[in-house]
Structure 1
Amino acid sequence: MRVPEAEPLVRAWRDRLDPSASAGVPAHVTVLFPFLDASRIDEGVCAAIGEVLGRYESFEARFDHCGRFPGVLYLAPETGAGFRCLTEAIVERWPECPPFGGQFDDVVPHLTVAQGQDEAVVEMAEADLLTGLPVVTQVSAVDLLVHDGTRWRRRAAFPLAYPGFSG
């Protein structure tokens, strides 16, 4: 899910420290990676994604601190519950696509800022990011990005239901 409200804070850091930024990936929280190969994504798959995600209400996400994985600096949402629900729903529909290939027991929602950088650079980035937090966004859609061999491009966007919508 794109987090455009984070771009002013993270863009310069991501451009320097996160290779996915130069490959066309905006500031985002991943719902599921890897997903189906681009050649398998057709109108039927897109309709199924829309049906699954359309059952969930949009929600507010507040990124209020930084976190780290080995070699990764990220912005962390105050609670990852909304993101986790969306991931679980997509995995339930496509169980052949476990998050991160099944490498991790727990999927932690996060917005990556830096990958594979020296500790001193990561500490400098983190100190700067902390001065701009919190970042608050309304999560109202999920984008499907596909890789064309060089860049990631948005293939489709799937809206979430508005709170209180009963249609």
Structure 2
Amino acid sequence: MTKHPDDQKRPTHGVRDPVAFTSLVERHSADLHGYFARRAPQAADDLLAELWLRAYAARRGFDPARGSVRAWLFGVARNVLSAHWRRVMAPRADLPGPTRDDPWEAVDDRLAATAIAPRLRSLLAELPPEERELLLLVAWEEMTPSEAAAVVGIPAATARTRLHRARNRMRTGAARDMTGDPA
């Protein structure tokens, strides 16, 4: 995974300039595709294309004071993914019953530790959505808590607190399962 710590030091015209925008696509496409592939493998290519269309259209709104270019792009990616799940999971008149907001069934296929995948999926699903997203951004996308905070749109200190809480909940749940302690 390619890190770009110098994104904040790059002039903002790289984001705002249509010609220079190409370098952003080249530099960040692999990481952003990975983000989509881990969350919606069947639609990753289409979601990446949608991301670049939205990012290009919104490029003048990039504010370097709010975070790095990478964090801004992941924020756009998060919005694209949310819109995708709203479309996919929208209630249909021809299908009975409730729909789910998060497609955690697909996570099983992505976890290396298949023996504990069902329980990890359950523990992740029990986390509040924002804590879950922070945890996944840090674990899967290798973001810093500050970068993940910018993606989610919360202060860095709040993100660190929520990330700590999410990690503790996951640790406690996994430890409880390993020891067989029901409490």
Answer yes or no: same fold by TM over 0.5: no
TM-score normalized by structure 2? Answer: 0.24
For CA contacts below 8 A with separation 6 or more, give which structure has more relative contact order: 1
TM-score normalized by structure 1? Answer: 0.26
**Greater share of strand residues, 1 or 2?**
1
**Greater share of helix residues, 1 or 2?**
2
Structure number with greater Rg is 2
